[in-house]
Amino acid sequence: MEKKEIRKQIREIKKQYTLEDKKRMSASVWQQVEHNEVFQRARVVLAYWSMDDEVFTHDFVCKWAEEKTILLPCVKGDELEIRYFDGREKLCPGEGYAIPEPVGRLFTDLNKIDVILVPGVAFDRTLNRLGRGKGFYDKILSQTKACKIGICFDFQLLDRIPTEVHDVRMTQVISSR
């Protein structure tokens, strides 16, 4: 299947679930992440503030910001900037997708990131990722040696997805199974 067709199919499946369903399914993902040895050792984590159709991250980010340095991406034109997460009250709607983004300090040393929790439209069993098509994450992922953990619902984990040269593989994929 083409990337465009996979994105369409996953979008249709997501519509079958309410936000409450997705929050409930997200709980098993975060339980697995919290028990993940690499995450437990990590001090600096690049996470994401979820949109309504993604694995729900808000509670997870707030919880772990008390113990770890949590970073969040911000869309700036065709790039992602990374900023420190300093609390829910310091988020403002971003320019890209109107996702709440931190407005505080910029983070630039990608080598200090231990773990990146990566959203995606779909992942496959050989750790490939299909994003929304803008290439935002691939640019960041290609510049760091951090552990890259793909985060998804079960129905987003496919046997195979098409890849291109610039696509960056995950270190692991954790789904809601």
132 is in an annotated binding site: yes
pLDDT value for 40:
97
153 is in an annotated binding site: no
- Structural domains for the chain: 1-172 (3.40.50.10420)
87 burial (CB, 10 Å; 0-12 / 13-18 / 19+) is: exposed
H or E segment to which residue 72 belongs:
strand 69-76
pLDDT value for 1:
60
CA distance 117 to 119: 7
Helix, strand, coil % in the chain, rounded to nearest 5:
30, 25, 40
131 is in an annotated binding site: yes
pLDDT value for 2:
92
pLDDT value for 65:
97
41 is in an annotated binding site: no
112 is in an annotated binding site: no
87 is in an annotated binding site: no
139 is in an annotated binding site: no
pLDDT value for 99:
87
63 is in an annotated binding site: no
pLDDT means over runs of 10, the chain (177 residues): 92 96 96 97 97 95 97 88 95 82 93 97 96 83 95 97 92 94
